[in-house]
Each structure stands twice: as structure tokens, then as C-alpha cells.
Amino acid sequence: MVRLLDYHIAANKLRTTQIQNIKTETPTVKTFTFMDKLCAKAKPGQFLMLWVPGVDEIPLSILDVQKDGTVAVAVKRVGEATGALHNKQTGEIIGIRGPFGNGFTMKKGKVLMVAGGTGVFPLLFLSRKIKPKTARLVFIIGAKTREDLLFLDKIEKLCGRENVVASTEDGSYGIKCLASESLELLLCKERFDVIYTCGPELMMRKVLDSAEKHGTALEASLERLMRCAIGLCGSCVVGKYRVCRDGPVFNGQQLMEVRAEFGKSKRDFDGRKIPF
Ligand SMILES: Cc1cc2nc3c(=O)[nH]c(=O)nc-3n(C[C@H](O)[C@H](O)[C@H](O)COP(=O)(O)OP(=O)(O)OC[C@H]3O[C@@H](n4cnc5c(N)ncnc54)[C@H](O)[C@@H]3O)c2cc1C
Ligand code: FES
């Protein structure tokens, strides 16, 4: 118990580190690598808080870790902090807290990933770890346009092209439909032991409905506003859960308990409920 408490105290302590490498993936997404011994032990689905000095601290999923302490995160430029991070150079200082949250449970058998947009980041990390344990691994990936289908080449290399179902909303690549529609079609033809999903909450709500209909186990990683990341401030609340502390990964049963909110509304920085 004391050891666990020590671990949580250490994880929550801000460490500074230098950006080691920056890779431009698309015009709006860059991958950053840095050294951090604690986050290098993270499980797929866990996240960290990255401090951009003088700007803000933001939650990011862990994309990959190495035994030598290297950690990677992929960041989409959407606003002030992500924009400031995109402007940084190799060697500049950032701050890290974490890893936080529970992460995915590693299930065996026939596994299906359903990723939308930046939701692909934790699912790629999970796929790398889970692949040797699976009987079959199918990856459904959806995005608005071809450019938003992130890490498609890596996913195809890992899972095999025949096991990847790509879709875009504008039809610029793959099937012209939503990832949730590809999922429903596939589940009508084939049974899977578990679905892991991450992406826009409206998409994940549809994934939950399909999983329920076909009796398939589900784990979904939720994104909510986060400040403290340790269950204190209440920014990330969904029903009775705090996403930072009780999640960010929730199973189908937990999501059914909060179905009045899940995929329906979220809270803004003032705590007000706003519909999706
Ligand atoms: C558990 C978790 C994991 C995440 N993983 C990734 C990831 O791997 N890669 C990635 O690019 N993004 C990820 N995000 C989203 C990322 O945290 C936000 O895009 C980022 O905080 C936006 O900061 P900003 O200052 O650039 O944008 P702002 O100017 O503050 O706002 C732009 C948009 O980002 C949203 N946003 C702002 N602050 C937060 C916050 N603290 N938490 C969630 N959303 C916010 C706002 O609703 C707004 O729509 C994750 C979020 C969570 C909760
Ligand atoms: S971010 Fe503060 S309680 Fe979750």
C-alpha cells in the first residue's frame, strides 16, 4: 500500500526533460520523443500530462515506450498548447507528469480495434503489445479525409493490409462511411471476443450500441477536459466516474451506467454540461 502511494506521488511529480526528436507525420500532427523513466513503463491506454512552459499542461495518450526510457506522443495541433508544442525544436525543455489512468486490459482471442481520428494513437500502442497474443487482429480506422487517417502505413504493416478496414467521410480513401458503419457490417458477418475503441465520443457511443447488440465485450478510452489528472478537480467527470482516475478506459458495463451522458454531453472548462 505504501509502495503504491509512493508510486502515485512520484508519478504526479513534474519532471523536466528535453525533446529528443520531432517527426512531422502530417501538416497537423507531429510525433515527439523524450526520455522519462516512469512513463516508459506505461501500459497502452495510459496517458501523461505534458507541460509546455509558459503556456499550459495538456493530457496526451502514450504512443510508444522503449526499455531505454524513451517515450513517444503524437500531437495534433488544435489550439494554444498544442500549437506552442508544434513550434518547439529538438533540445527544448518540456515538463512531464504521469503515467496516469488504468490502461486497457490485455485480452486474448479475436480482437477488433475501432479508431477514429487521433484515437488511433493509444490503439496503435495497444496493437503492438497485444498482437502476439491474438488469434486474429482486425483494425477499423476512420477519419474525415485521407490526410486524417493517421499511421495507416504502420497499422497495415503490423496487422497485414487484409486486416485493415479504412474509411473516410469524404470518400478520399477507402470506403466512404463512418468507422462505426464499417464495424456494424463486420459484426454482422463475424464474431470477435473484444472490441477496443478510441475516438470521437459520438463514434464510440455507436460502437457501444453495436457491441451491445452483438454481445461483444468492449473497452473504450474516453477524452474529457483534464486539469489535475489525479481525481481532484472534477473537470473530467462523466456520471459517477472521473475519467482521469477511474479511466480513461471504461468497459461496456460502466459505459451503460453513464449512458445518459456518454456520447450525449460533456463539460466545458466552467463545469457546464454542453451537448455533443
Ligand atoms: C486522456 C486524453 C488523451 C489525449 N490524447 C491525445 C493525444 O495522444 N494526441 C492529441 O493530439 N490529443 C490528445 N488529447 C487531446 C488534447 O489533450 C487536446 O487536444 C489539448 O489539450 C488541446 O490543447 P490546446 O491548448 O492546444 O487547445 P485549446 O485551445 O485549449 O482548445 C482546443 C480544443 O481542444 C480541447 N481541449 C482543450 N484542453 C483540453 C484538455 N485539457 N483535455 C481535453 N481536451 C481539451 C477543447 O475542447 C477544444 O475543442 C487527449 C485528451 C485526453 C483527455
Ligand atoms: S482531471 Fe481533475 S478530476 Fe480528472
Q: Is the CB of 232 under 6 A from ligand 2?
A: yes
Q: Ligand 1 center to residue 162 CA distance, Å?
A: 32
Q: Does 266 contact ligand 1 (Cβ within 6 A)?
A: no
Same domain for 90 and 190: no
pLDDT value at 190 more than 70: yes
Q: Is residue 170 part of a domain?
A: yes
* Whether residue 44 has pLDDT greater than 90: yes
Q: Are residues 126 and 215 in the same domain?
A: yes
Q: Tens digits of per-residue pLDDT, 146-180?
A: 999 999 999 999 999 999 999 999 999 988 999 99
157 & 260 share domain? yes
Whether the pLDDT of residue 1 is over 70: the answer is no
Last residue of a domain, one of 41, 68, 99: 99
Q: Is pLDDT above 90 for 255?
A: yes
Residue having the nearest C-alpha atom to atom 10 of ligand 1: 75
Please tell me whether residues 239 and 124 are part of one structural domain: yes
158-163: long-range pairs with CB below 8 Å, 24+: 158/124, 158/127, 158/128, 158/131, 159/127, 159/131, 163/136, 163/137, 163/138, 163/139
Cβ(25) – ligand 1 distance below 6 Å: no
Q: Report the distance separating Cα 118 and Cα 211, nearest Å.
A: 21
Residue nearest to atom 6 of ligand 1 (CA): 60
Among candidate residues 99, 132, 150, the one where a domain is terminated: 99
Q: Is the pLDDT of residue 2 over 80?
A: no
Distance 76 CA to ligand 1 centre (A): 9
CA Rg value for the chain: 18
What's the 225 CA to ligand 2 centre distance in angstroms? 8
> How is residue 118 written as a grid cell?
487521433
In a domain, 176, yes or no: yes
Q: What is the Cα–Cα distance from 191 to 214, expressed in whole angstroms?
A: 8
Task: Answer with the one of 49, 67, 99 that is the final residue of a domain.
Answer: 99
**Secondary structure class of 160 (helix, strand, coil):** coil
Q: What pLDDT does residue 266 have? A: 86
**Could you tell me if the CB of 231 is within 6 A of ligand 2?**
yes
Distance 77 CA to ligand 2 centre (A): 22
Residue 232 covered by a domain: yes
**Ligand 1 within 6 A of CB of 81:** yes
Which of the 8 DSSP states describes residue 187? Answer: H
Q: Does residue 4 have a pLDDT over 80?
A: no
Is 225 touching ligand 1 by the criterion CB < 6 Å? yes
Is the CB–ligand 1 distance for residue 61 below 6 Å? yes
Q: What does the pLDDT look like over 6-39, one tens digit per residue?
A: 888 889 999 999 999 999 999 999 999 999 999 9
Find the 214 Cα to ligand 1 centroid distance in Å. Answer: 32
Q: Which atom of ligand 2 is nearest to the CA of 228?
A: 2
User: Domain of 34?
Assistant: 2-99
The confidence score (pLDDT) of residue 214 equals 96
Question: How many alpha carbons fall within 13 Å on the CB side of residue 204?
Answer: 30
* CATH number, domain containing residue 88: 2.40.30.10
- Cα separation values, 115 from 39, 78, 123, 141, 256, Å: 23, 19, 7, 5, 20
Gap between the Cα atoms of 218 and 224, Å rounded: 19
Type of residue numbered 262: F
How many angstroms is it from 84 CA to the middle of ligand 1?
A: 13
Q: In CATH, what number is assigned to the domain containing residue 147?
A: 3.40.50.80
Same domain, 167 and 264: yes
Instruction: Please indicate, yes or no, whether residues 56 and 178 belong to a single structural domain of this protein.
Output: no
Query: Would residue 104 count as lying in a domain?
Result: no
Q: Are 247 and 224 in contact (CB under 8 A)?
A: no
91-136 pLDDT, tens per residue?
A: 999 999 999 999 999 998 999 999 999 999 999 999 999 998 898 9
89 and 210 within one domain: no
* Banded model confidence at residue 273, pLDDT cuts 50, 70, 90: confident
Q: Total structural domains in the chain?
A: 2
Taken in order 74, 79, 81, 84, the sign of the CA dihedral is: positive
Cell 470521437 found at: 200
